[in-house]
Amino acid sequence: MILAELNVTTDIQVGKRYKLTFEKAFYGYVGSALSGLERRLARHLSAHKRSHWHIDYLLKSATVSAIVYAESSQKDECLIARALSQKLPSVPGFGCSDCRCPSHLFFSRDLGTLKRHVVNTFKNMNLNPIVITR
């Protein structure tokens, strides 16, 4: 998961389909990179990239605060998103165009709260979370 801070309320065009207002908050994006975590994270953290995924549009305005990940041989992103939806508010339709989840982007006004829910969700799923603070 990429945890990022948006320090001012901002309208962001997400792809060609819609513009969303993102409140000043900390956001957590659930994704997967089964064959290339380092490469995928390097791409998301790069300032010079063509926007492709929903998170790319948010990261143009937000600053990455932390990354939480766990090694897994299966695609756990939807299970993580469903578990987080019970704990945190989300941005409807964000990051889930290829699945049936309501969202893959969650938020909190407080980074500690967001990080705690993410880490606890990983642990509850028997995943060993690794946290990298930036």
Distances (CA, A) of 121 to 3, 6, 31, 54: 14, 23, 14, 22
Q: Which amino acid is at 133?
A: T
pLDDT tens column, 64-108: 999 999 988 788 999 999 999 999 999 999 988 888 999 999 999
The confidence score (pLDDT) of residue 23 equals 97
pTM of the predicted model as reported, rounded to 2 decimal places:
0.91
What band does 26 get if pLDDT is binned at 50, 70 and 90?
Answer: very high
Half-sphere exposure of 29 (CA within 13 A, CB side): 26
CB 89, CB 28: distance < 8 Å: no
Q: Indicate the burial class of 84 (C-beta count within 10 angstroms; 0-12, 13-18, 19 or more).
A: buried
Q: Is 6 helix (H, G, I), strand (E, B) or coil?
A: strand
Q: Number of folded domains in the chain?
A: 1
pLDDT tens column, 31-64: 877 667 677 777 767 777 777 778 999 999 999 9
Q: Which amino acid is at 39?
A: R
Q: Which domain holds residue 19?
A: 2-133
